[in-house]
């Protein structure tokens, strides 16, 4: 049985741990609120851009375009598939990283992807380290994403991604990440981003497509100046960059929520442990007092 001093030491160290986890929970909650406020304006812009692209598709602007002049819509044999994996740089986020990696591995198994026919683009250290150890070619690695990432911060990732696709380092691109649902829940998402086709563009309107259209109507017949190819060469890269940046924002929001939940669970566990150790201490102290009284009583009887 542990001594009273050992139990007191454990209670003291557990209280210190609880203070740390409680503080980390408050910090993560504050970061979550900050990124939700910060991302509201960009989500509005991204929604409007999605609607514009949907209307361009409905106007059949992509039907007669020569793919040679717009690489993002070019259809070519898929020799290598790129997977953009968005994870965190650190731990203490519960099952956040494990869920992304587990579901991504399931996607690879389903699509028969392996180090020979797939490359990894990693935003976040956990994903980069995991796939490096398993022999995958990590062609892009970006660590140190800030708590509230800005577009300028992620701009180089976006440019490099499109450049790698244009250079045929990969012929198709999946973006995989945790989507923020609420403070307690996130869900895995897999978006096949490249190449862009009329079918995939129609699917990228998102779950609020009807709401977006109701709030932002765009005509479906266009007068194009100078020509449709020039317009699409401007709009489509912006659209791809918008989707990737929005995925980074979404994933970072889910990361803060996961961190807050994990730290709250750790704090609750520390409280339970402190309570149990307190009961154990009281029982041990009671047993010690009983033993001391018995010894004193026995000594008095012996003296008589």
Q: Are 63 and 143 in a shared domain?
A: yes
Whether 44 is in a domain gets the answer yes
Q: Report pLDDT for 177.
A: 92
Percent of the chain's residues with pLDDT above 90: 10
| Same domain (yes/no): 186, 271 | no
Greatest mean pLDDT among 60-69, 187-196, 210-219, 265-274 lies in 265-274
pLDDT for 244 = 87
Q: Which of 261, 278, 295 is the last residue of a domain?
A: 261
Q: Which tens digits make up the pLDDT trace of 22-61? A: 998 899 889 888 888 877 777 777 777 777 777 666 666 6
Confidence at residue 292, expressed as pLDDT on a 0 to 100 scale:
72
Pair (192, 104) in one structural domain: yes
Query: If you write DSSP's letter for every residue of 11-42 in order, what string do you get?
Result: HHHHHHHHHHHHHHHHHHHHHHHHHHHHHHHH
For 234, the enclosing helix (H) or strand (E) is helix 228-303
Question: Considering the chain, what is the average pLDDT of its residues?
Answer: 81
Higher pLDDT, 63 or 46: 46
Query: Quick one: DSSP state of residue 60?
Result: T
What is the mean predicted confidence (pLDDT) over 141-160?
87
The larger pLDDT score, comparing residue 56 to residue 289, is at 289
Band of pLDDT at residue 119, cut at 50, 70 and 90: very high
Residue 137 domain flag: yes
Considering the domain architecture, whether residues 81 and 174 belong to the same structural domain is answered as yes
Confidence of residue 84 (pLDDT cuts 50, 70, 90): very high
CATH number of the structural domain spanning residue 217: 3.40.1380.10
Distance between CA atoms of 169 and 165, rounded to whole angstroms?
6
Q: How many domains does the chain have?
A: 2
| Residue 188: other Cβ atoms inside 10 A | 16
What average pLDDT score do residues 145-171 get? 87
Tell me: do 293 and 208 sit in the same domain.
no
Note down the domain range covering 290: 4-17+265-303
pLDDT computed for residue 208 by the predictor: 45
Pair 10, 137 in one domain: no
Kindly list the strands in the beta sheet with 81-86, ordered across the sheet, starting from the edge strand earlier in the chain: 137-142, 118-123, 81-86, 172-180, 186-194
> Please, what is the end-to-end C-alpha distance for the chain in angstroms?
34
pLDDT of 211 reads 47
Residues 157 and 292 in one domain: no
Percent of the chain residues past pLDDT 70, beyond the cut: 82
220-237 pLDDT tens trace: 555 666 666 777 777 777
The residue among 191 and 209 whose pLDDT is bigger is 191
Residues 129 and 32 in one domain: yes
Look at residue 68 in the predicted model and tell me its pLDDT: 66
Q: Quick check: 154 pLDDT over 80?
A: yes
pLDDT in tens, 205-223: 544 444 444 454 545 555 6
Q: Is residue 192 part of a domain?
A: yes
Note whether 247 and 296 are same-domain residues.
no
The larger pLDDT score, comparing residue 292 to residue 162, is at 162
Q: Are residues 118 and 93 in the same domain?
A: yes
Considering the domain architecture, whether residues 280 and 219 belong to the same structural domain is answered as: no
Question: In terms of domains, do 223 and 285 share one?
Answer: no
């Amino acid at each position: 049985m542990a001594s009273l001093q050992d139990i007191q030491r454990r209670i003291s160290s557990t209280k210190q741990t609880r203070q740390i986890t409680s503080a980390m929970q408050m910090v993560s909650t504050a970061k979550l609120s900050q990124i939700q406020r910060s991302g509201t304006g960009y989500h509005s812009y991204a929604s409007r851009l999605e609607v514009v692209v949907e209307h361009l598709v409905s106007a059949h602007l992509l039907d007669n375009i020569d793919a040679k002049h717009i690489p993002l819509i070019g259809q070519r044999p898929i020799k290598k598939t790129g997977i953009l994996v968005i994870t965190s740089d650190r731990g203490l986020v519960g099952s956040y990283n494990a869920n992304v990696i587990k579901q991504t591995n399931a996607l690879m198994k389903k699509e028969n992807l392996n180090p020979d026919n797939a490359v990894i683009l990693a935003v976040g250290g956990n994903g980069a380290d995991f796939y490096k150890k398993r022999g995958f070619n990590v062609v892009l690695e970006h660590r140190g994403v800030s708590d509230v990432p800005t577009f300028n911060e992620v701009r180089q990732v976006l440019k490099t991604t499109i450049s790698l696709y244009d250079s045929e380092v990969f012929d198709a691109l999946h973006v995989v990440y945790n989507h923020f649902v609420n403070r307690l829940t996130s869900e895995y998402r897999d978006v096949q981003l490249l190449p862009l086709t009329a079918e995939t563009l129609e699917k990228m309107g998102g779950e609020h497509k009807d709401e977006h259209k109701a709030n932002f109507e765009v005509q479906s017949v266009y007068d194009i100046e100078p020509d449709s190819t020039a317009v699409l060469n401007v709009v489509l890269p912006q659209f791809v960059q918008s989707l990737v940046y929005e995925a980074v924002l979404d994933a970072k929001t889910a990361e803060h929520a996961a961190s807050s939940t994990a730290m709250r669970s750790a704090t609750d566990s520390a409280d339970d442990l402190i309570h149990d150790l307190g009961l154990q201490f009281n029982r041990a102290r009671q047993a010690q007092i009983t033993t001391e009284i018995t010894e004193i009583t026995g000594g008095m009887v012996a003296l008589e």
